[in-house]
């Protein structure tokens, strides 16, 4: 068995559906779990369904930031490229669910060293994109907890939401004897009430729905009210807002009325911070937010790479909150059973969401059939050569299925009649499935080894995260494949050594091309033809936009944003000058952000600098100026080229950075068996990135 079913949202098609996907492959820091039970969190998940099924205008209203980004892209890159990128994003399916339990079936390399995980171990799992409504899930080790023997999978599936409730109470500093109020008695509110009672607090519930008030009363709430105005004022040490509140809803004002002096208001739900200042000021109220299940959430080092926080510095992380919840369930101090209003089979989950939310439903458990066979183990490839020789049709395997591939490269590949995509791969299998839905000839897989080992594939396109480039390229080289490798080809010396070892005469018989597309652009061709002989001076101004701090590019193992992109510009200059680099220097202004000045010298005496700096304003990303005696030229953001004051080439409706020409060069080289004259050798690419790493780390 190689595939499974998963519940996915399709924003472009305005639907949710249960579809077949490849079973995901665990990485070093994760475990593969066969799901037995998942829990529907109705507030969050029905909101996601509403967003998915909304019209395009409604989506635009919900995300004005993305509309602004689209308009900027339209202005800089043109209508065709913008449409392709937007279409790719809208048609990218998104998983649903974030609370589940299951059985460990395989462990990643680093997870094997964690004593608590072994094949057959029952675990509670957490996290959007990890604990999905799917038959199989890969889960990072810090988002998975062993289940005590006395706790059923059905109860363990609540561990994620109990962790959220525990984190909320810690934010509210609730202790034994405190009086607290909970506004909103949906599933989250009920769980916060249970945890509050277990902590020894006196709990009152504010909830307009009579059914939910009755459930809370049966579960031990000390008092229930239909509205906050009916409860006594100035009596609460903390108020937990577990209901969504838009700007027109004055829930913080209502909570302030309930608070005594210097109390805490904790926003657990999606609460707009909109309140009158005077009551807050008079009581010195503290307003706090709850960021999911605890410290570690949204930190890639914690979630993706399994780096725990020292317990002496961060006592209650996500995982430790989940462990505490499971222990409390095992001791019968927490019991989610009264909150389970229905159980459904996994095969019926799409219909459940299609029927819409119901006020008399709190927790819905999804039950899975676990009698399906376990996926076959993945074997690493050996160095036998199985690829078809060049000179035949292009049979592509795609490793990596991100936005750049789907929005930029795939539309260009689709226009070539001689390129057939055989398989595509992504780590969780979902992105690969999205690509395969567009390509009738392609199958989706979750392991790159499956793509490389496929005897029907003679060419590999690698567009994964940067730290995997060298390793995947080496494996593909050992199998005799033609390779398109996105930059950078390596992020450290270890990756470079791997490539050097495999840069053999046999490997050189195949096409190896790095995605340095700028050297192939029409503007580059015109500029190359116009440049005079002799030494030249250049000034290359590159401005990059902000990337969130938790983006994978910022992880130390990825080399950083500058190492990931700077080779684009240095390679372009080298293609123009036509001589080897003799010296290269990097002056870091802010290495963490990526701000840097690069000085490059060439064998013919040409020299200049690249200023690679962050920007906070809209404007051109790239401006290149080159001067020589009696000659000057300016390339303006890949839209206009001027030589000696005259415009010689202009793109009116967007940019052309050479992606199409680069794809054509790669494809034609495969079909002809001859490298494109502009394509550097693998040794030249190794030398370039070696110089870059040396300059960056000097």
pLDDT one-digit tens code per residue, 289-343: 998 899 999 888 899 888 999 999 999 999 999 999 999 999 999 999 999 999 9
292 to each of 50, 194, 287, 390, 510, how far by Cα in Å?
21, 18, 16, 52, 49
542 shares a domain with 622:
yes
The structure tokens listed for 530 are: 């116009």
What would the pLDDT profile of 254-274 be if each residue is shown by its tens digit? 999 999 999 999 999 888 888
Q: Is residue 680 part of a domain?
A: no
Distance (Å, whole) CA 444 – CA 425: 6
Rounded-to-integer distance, Cα 445 and Cα 275, Å: 51
Per residue in 640-665, pLDDT (tens digit) is 999 999 999 998 878 899 999 999 99
Q: Point out the domain boundary residue: 289, 306, 333.
A: 289
Structural domain includes residue 260: yes
One domain, residues 23 and 147:
yes
Reported confidence tier of residue 383, pLDDT bands at 50, 70, 90:
very low
- Whether 52 has a pLDDT exceeding 90, the answer reads no
Average of per-residue pLDDT values in the chain = 89
- The answer to whether residues 464 and 606 belong to one domain is no
Q: Distance between CA 174 and CA 237 in Å, rounded?
A: 8
CATH number at residue 404: 3.40.50.720
Verify that 479 and 551 share a domain, yes or no: no
Whether 431 and 575 map to the same domain: the answer is: no
Q: What percent of the chain is predicted at pLDDT more than 90? A: 70
Same domain assignment for residues 154 and 302:
yes
Instruction: Kindly state the average pLDDT of the residues 62-90.
Output: 59
- What percent of the chain has pLDDT above 70? 90
Q: With the C-alpha atoms ordered 317, 321, 323, 327, is the resulting torsion angle positive or negative?
A: positive
Amino acid 387: pLDDT = 40
**What distance in Å separates the CA atoms of residue 676 and residue 664, rounded to the nearest whole number?**
10
Chain segment 441-499, per-residue pLDDT in tens: 899 999 999 999 999 999 999 999 999 999 999 999 999 999 999 999 999 999 999 99
The Cα–Cα gap between 643 and 626 comes to: 10
pLDDT at 372 over 70: no
Q: What is the per-residue pLDDT for 386?
A: 41
pLDDT tens-digit map of 392-422: 689 999 999 888 888 889 889 988 989 999 9
Residues 32 and 125 in one domain: yes
Domain at 641, CATH number: 3.30.360.10
pLDDT at residue 388 is higher than 70 = no
Per-residue pLDDT band for 72 (boundaries 50, 70, 90) equals low
> Is residue 697 over pLDDT 80?
yes
**Which pLDDT value is given to residue 553?**
86
Alpha-carbon gap, residue 147 to 200, rounded angstroms: 25
Mean pLDDT (whole number) for 678-698: 95
339 shares its domain with 442: no
Neighbours of 244 (CB within 10 A): 16
The more confidently predicted of residues 368 and 384 is: 368
> Which among 313, 348, 367 is the end of a domain?
367
| In a shared domain, residues 533 and 634 | yes
Q: How far from each other are the two terminal CA atoms of the chain, in whole angstroms?
A: 50
Nearest to 340 by CA among 306, 309, 302, 366: 366
Distance of alpha carbon 192 from alpha carbon 561, whole angstroms? 41
Report the distance separating Cα 113 and Cα 29, nearest Å.
Answer: 10
Looking at per-residue pLDDT, the higher value among 617 and 183 belongs to: 183
Which range of residues forms the domain containing residue 588? 522-656
Give kind and range of the element (H or E) at residue 460: strand 459-462
- Confidence at residue 382, expressed as pLDDT on a 0 to 100 scale: 34
User: Is the pLDDT at 380 greater than 80, yes or no?
Assistant: no
Task: Assess contact for 22 and 435: CB atoms under 8 A.
Answer: no
Per-residue pLDDT tens digits for 164-191: 999 999 999 999 999 999 999 999 999 9
76 confidence band (pLDDT: 50, 70, 90): low
Band (3; pLDDT cuts 50, 70, 90):
confident
Any domain includes 324: yes
**581 and 484 in a common domain:** no
**Is residue 266, in this structure, part of any structural domain at all?**
yes
154 & 207 share domain:
no
Confidence band (pLDDT; 50, 70, 90) for 552?
confident
Structural domain contains residue 135: yes
Number of domains in the chain: 4
Residue 690 included in any domain: no
Examine residue 272 and state whether it is found in any structural domain, yes or no: yes
Q: Is the pLDDT of residue 125 over 90?
A: yes
> What was the pLDDT predicted at 556?
78
Same domain, 646 and 538: yes
Q: How far apart are CA 196 and CA 209, in angstroms?
A: 21
Q: Is 373 within the bounds of a domain?
A: no
Helix (H) or strand (E) run with residue 62 in it: helix 56-62
| pLDDT tops 90 at residue 248 | no
Domain final residue, candidates 514, 530, 562 = 514
More confident residue, 248 or 677: 677
């Amino acid at each position: 068995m190689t595939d499974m079913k998963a519940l996915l949202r399709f924003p472009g098609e305005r639907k949710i559906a249960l579809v077949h996907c490849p079973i995901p492959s665990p990485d070093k820091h994760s475990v593969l779990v066969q799901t037995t039970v998942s829990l529907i969190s109705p507030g969050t998940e029905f909101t996601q369904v509403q967003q998915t099924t909304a019209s395009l205008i409604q989506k635009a209203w919900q995300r004005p930031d993305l509309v602004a980004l689209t308009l900027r892209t339209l202005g800089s890159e043109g209508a065709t490229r913008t449409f392709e990128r937007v279409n790719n994003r809208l048609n990218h399916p998104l998983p649903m669910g974030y609370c589940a339990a299951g059985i460990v079936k395989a462990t990643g390399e680093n997870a094997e060293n964690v004593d608590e995980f072994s094949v057959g171990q029952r675990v509670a799992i957490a996290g959007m994109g990890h604990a999905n409504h799917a038959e199989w899930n890969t889960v990072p080790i810090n988002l998975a907890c062993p289940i005590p023997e006395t706790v059923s999978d059905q109860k363990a599936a609540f561990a994620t939401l109990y962790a959220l409730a525990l984190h909320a109470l810690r934010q509210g500093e609730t202790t034994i004897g405190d009086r607290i109020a909970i506004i909103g008695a949906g599933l989250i509110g009920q769980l916060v009430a249970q945890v509050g009672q277990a902590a020894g607090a006196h709990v009152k519930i504010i909830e307009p729905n009579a059914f939910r008030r009755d459930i809370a009363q049966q579960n031990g709430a000390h008092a229930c009210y239909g509205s906050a105005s009916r409860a006594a004022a100035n009596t609460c040490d903390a108020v937990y807002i577990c209901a969504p509140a838009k700007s027109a809803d004055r829930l913080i004002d209502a909570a302030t009325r309930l608070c005594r002096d210097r109390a805490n208001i904790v926003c657990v739900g999606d609460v707009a911070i909109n309140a009158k200042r005077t009551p807050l000021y008079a009581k010195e109220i503290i307003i706090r937010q709850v960021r999911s299940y605890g410290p570690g959430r949204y930190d890639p080092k914690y979630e993706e790479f399994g780096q725990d926080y020292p317990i002496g510095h961060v006592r209650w992380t996500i995982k430790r909150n989940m462990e505490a919840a499971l222990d409390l369930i095992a001791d019968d101090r927490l019991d989610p059973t009264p909150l389970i209003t229905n159980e459904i089979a996994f095969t019926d989950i799409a219909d459940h969401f299609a029927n819409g939310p119901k006020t008399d439903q709190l927790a819905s458990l999804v039950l899975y059939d676990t009698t399906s066979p376990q996926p076959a183990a993945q074997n690493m490839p050996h160095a036998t050569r199985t690829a078809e020789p060049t000179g035949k049709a292009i049979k592509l395997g795609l490793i990596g299925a991100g936005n750049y591939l789907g929005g930029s490269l795939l539309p260009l590949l689709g226009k070539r009649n001689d390129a057939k995509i055989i398989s595509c791969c992504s780590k969780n299998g979902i992105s690969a499935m999205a690509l395969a839905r567009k390509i009738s000839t392609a199958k989706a897989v979750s392991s790159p080894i499956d793509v490389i080992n496929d005897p029907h594939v003679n060419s590999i396109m690698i567009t994964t995260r940067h730290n995997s480039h060298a390793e995947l390229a080496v494996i593909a080289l050992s199998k005799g494949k033609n390779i398109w490798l996105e930059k950078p080809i390596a992020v450290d010396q270890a990756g470079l050594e791997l490539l050097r070892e495999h840069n053999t005469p046999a490997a050189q018989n195949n096409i190896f091309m790095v995605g340095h597309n700028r050297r192939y652009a029409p503007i580059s061709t015109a500029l190359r033809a116009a440049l005079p002989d002799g030494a030249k001076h250049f000034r290359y101004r590159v401005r990059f936009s902000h990337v969130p701090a938790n983006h994978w590019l910022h992880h130390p193992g990825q080399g950083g944003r500058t190492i990931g992109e700077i080779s684009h510009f240095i390679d372009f200059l080298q293609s123009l000058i036509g001589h080897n680099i003799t010296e290269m220097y990097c002056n870091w202004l802010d290495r963490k952000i990526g701000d840097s000045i690069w000085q490059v010298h060439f064998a013919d005496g040409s020299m200049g600098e690249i200023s690679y700096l962050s920007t906070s304003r809209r404007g051109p990303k790239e401006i290149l100026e080159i001067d020589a005696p009696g000659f000057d030229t300016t390339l303006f953001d890949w839209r206009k080229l001027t030589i000696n004051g005259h415009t010689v080439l202009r793109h009116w409706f967007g940019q052309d950075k050479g992606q199409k020409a680069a794809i054509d060069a790669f494809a034609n080289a495969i079909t002809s068996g001859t490298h494109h004259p502009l394509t550097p050798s693998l040794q030249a690419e190794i030398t370039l990135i070696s110089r870059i790493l040396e300059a960056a780390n000097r």
